[in-house]
Amino acid sequence: MITIVTDSTSQLPPSLRTRYDVRIVPVTIVVDGIPLREGIDISAEEFYERLAAGAVTSTAAPAPGEVLSEYQAAAEQGATQILSIHAGANSSDIIEAVYRAAPMSPIPVEVVDTGTISFPVACCVWSAGEVLADGGNLAAAVDAARRTATSLGYVFVVGARALGAGSSRTDRRAAGRDSTAIMASEHGELLQVGTVYDVDATLDVMTDYAERHAAGGPLRVGVGDAGSTDLAEAFAARLRALSCVAELVHYRIGPSVGARTGPDTVGACFFPL
């Protein structure tokens, strides 16, 4: 039996975690000097409340022993191999702990450095999980995770709450202020793909970007938010209406990513089947 292990920066939602029986190594969130394990000692809601109250936050990678404990637990539950899929060395120190823990595991571990962070890591888990669920072997699951890491797209907006406040779109545009940038990640580079003044334009730009990424083929999509749930739900509805979207899940942007992006972020990550 092959068990997938990932880290909490992946933002893997409960639906996918349960479907593929994934084990998650929690990242440490330091809030006002107090270390807390993401998803165990502190929830996303609690984190954003503390952040809004002025808390000073940072993140810390798990120790190798914390990674090893997940490997040991998987072995105790009958796993004979582990596929460990994690945030990349280019954006986190997590993979270093993983590489140190892997040789101490009671069962063999195959490590995948995705070269990315946040829900793109979950997309790699998702694709690998599908392979294993369909009866594929470890090599095929590794290939799927690595292929997804190089083919996924990610589009998002930060500061979404401001889009619904203040003067009208026309007034804001005429005054040359209050615009919001739509950003996307392509091949590891962050690009601005649009400038918007209201919710409708935001939905248009982000939906069009995802549809172009599909290039006519089916996509799996994750829509995430860090507090702007209404916008996220509207975005998800737009995406579900596209014929190219084969499956869509919702995820909460948790502390390990929210500490970097802040509140009121909405985005989507997608990859071809």
Domain limit, last residue, from 134, 151, 168: 151
76 and 171 fall within a common domain: no
Q: Which of 151, 180, 210 is the last residue of a domain?
A: 151
Instruction: Please give the chain's pLDDT, 273 residues, in tens.
Output: 999 999 999 999 999 999 999 999 999 999 999 999 999 999 989 998 998 899 898 899 999 999 999 999 999 999 999 999 999 888 788 999 999 999 999 999 999 999 988 999 999 999 999 999 999 999 999 999 999 999 999 999 987 666 654 444 444 454 454 678 899 987 767 889 888 888 899 999 999 999 988 877 899 999 999 877 889 999 999 999 999 999 999 999 999 888 887 778 899 999 998
Task: Give the integer Cα–Cα distance in Å for 201 and 94.
Answer: 37
Number of domains in the chain: 2
Do 87 and 214 lie in a common domain? Answer: no
Fill in the DSSP letter of residue 83.
Answer: E
Handedness of CA 220, 22, 107, 133 (dihedral sign): negative
Q: Does 116 lie in the same domain as 182?
A: no
Determine the Cα–Cα distance for residues 106 and 79; give it in Å rounded to an integer.
Answer: 10
| Domain assignment present for 43 | no
Q: Are residues 166 and 102 in the same domain?
A: no
The verdict on 105 and 83 lying in the same domain is yes
Q: Does a structural domain hold residue 40? A: no
How many CB atoms are closer than 10 A to CB 135? 7
Indicate if 194 and 233 belong to the same structural domain.
yes
Domain co-membership, 22 together with 130: yes
133 shares a domain with 162: no
Domain that holds residue 103: 2-27+62-151
Q: Are 117 and 79 in contact (CB under 8 A)?
A: no
Same domain? For 135 and 8 the reply is yes
